[in-house]
Amino acid sequence: MRDIALSTSSDQRTTATNRRVWQVTQRALGYMAMIAVILIIGIPVAWVLSGALKTNREIFSTTPQLLPLNPNFDNFGKAWRAAPFDRFYLNSFITTLLGAGAEIIMAVTTAYALVFVRFPKRDWVFVLLLLALMVPEEVVLVPNYLTIAGWRMVNTYPGIVLPGASIAFGTFLLRQYFRTLPLELIDAARVDGAGHLRTLLSVVVPVAAPAVATTALLSITAKWNEYLWPLLITTTEDMRTLPVGISRLLDQEGNTEWGVVMAATLFVIVPVMLIFLYAQRFVVDGIAAGAVKG
């Protein structure tokens, strides 16, 4: 019996040791993966930051260095003066706010209807939504342009915003999240006499704050960085957005000042980074609130 007890105790110690080794290995692999992701994402950003402070000679040096020997802050002034970036900023802010706002409203209301409102052929509507996810944006460029041109909205803010006012991905993301919400919350709201709009605004949106905030961040980033459609639908410089405006700095004969281009690229990157740093707390707070309520 004593030998059996010793053997059992030894097996338990071995199992505990193997478990600790496996946990340490998992943690090490997780850290290695995070470091790899940081390097993949961070190196290009660091190169842009460094290039914005370099001359062309330093950028094309045969022995490139990450840190500039003599930081050249004149690139930012040259970039700002090379094009009307104040107007580009205004256009980007207007189209991003209008486009992302419309997309979020459409996504939230459509996802709510697909989950909590019963109507005929509801599943068919969701199938059509999935089919829309499979259609590349380039396929609908010509139909969208002909439609906007027919409405005489070329080179206008509505012309830039309307084709992207409803995106299937945001609806799909929120619909999947809404399906995880407890039905008791919806039933309680209905017992209290709340209609669909009140239930959506007072119950569903606050509880689903992480998903809504994530959708908003993805939408804002996509609208801010959109290039192809604003390029096609705008015809004058005063309606260009920031991504399109940066292309003005590229010299067709190959004499581009890349330090100036990288400085202008920071004009596009920095606002999105600030928005993310500000909005991420809503994601965290929403997750924390959901955990407490659960």
The dihedrals phi and psi of 54, each to the nearest 5 degrees, come to -115, 160
Distances (CA, A) of 92 to 161, 210, 220, 221, 242: 11, 25, 11, 11, 6
Question: 77: which residues sit within 8 A by CB, 6+ positions away?
Answer: none
Q: How far apart are CA 169 and CA 103, in angstroms?
A: 10
Structure-block tokens of residue 96: 């991003």
Question: 40: which residues sit within 8 A by CB, 6+ positions away?
Answer: none
pLDDT for the residue numbered 60: 82
pLDDT for the residue numbered 254: 66
Q: How far apart are CA 222 and CA 25, in angstroms?
A: 37
Structure-block tokens of residue 119: 């109507």
Class of domain 83-293: mainly alpha
Question: 127: which residues sit within 8 A by CB, 6+ positions away?
Answer: none
Q: Which residue has the tokens 């609806």?
A: 171
Q: How far apart are CA 43 and CA 50, in angstroms?
A: 10
pLDDT for the residue numbered 11: 59
Q: How far apart are CA 188 and CA 119, in angstroms?
A: 21
pLDDT for the residue numbered 22: 86
Q: What is this structure's pTM? A: 0.82
Running along the chain, 294 residues long, what does each successive block of 10 average in pLDDT? 54 72 87 90 86 85 78 87 90 94 93 89 86 86 93 94 86 88 85 86 88 88 92 92 87 76 89 82 55 43
Q: How far apart are CA 3 and CA 84, in angstroms?
A: 85
Other beta carbons within 10 angstroms of residue 209's beta carbon come to 19
Closest by alpha carbon to 93, among 267, 250, 265, 248? 267
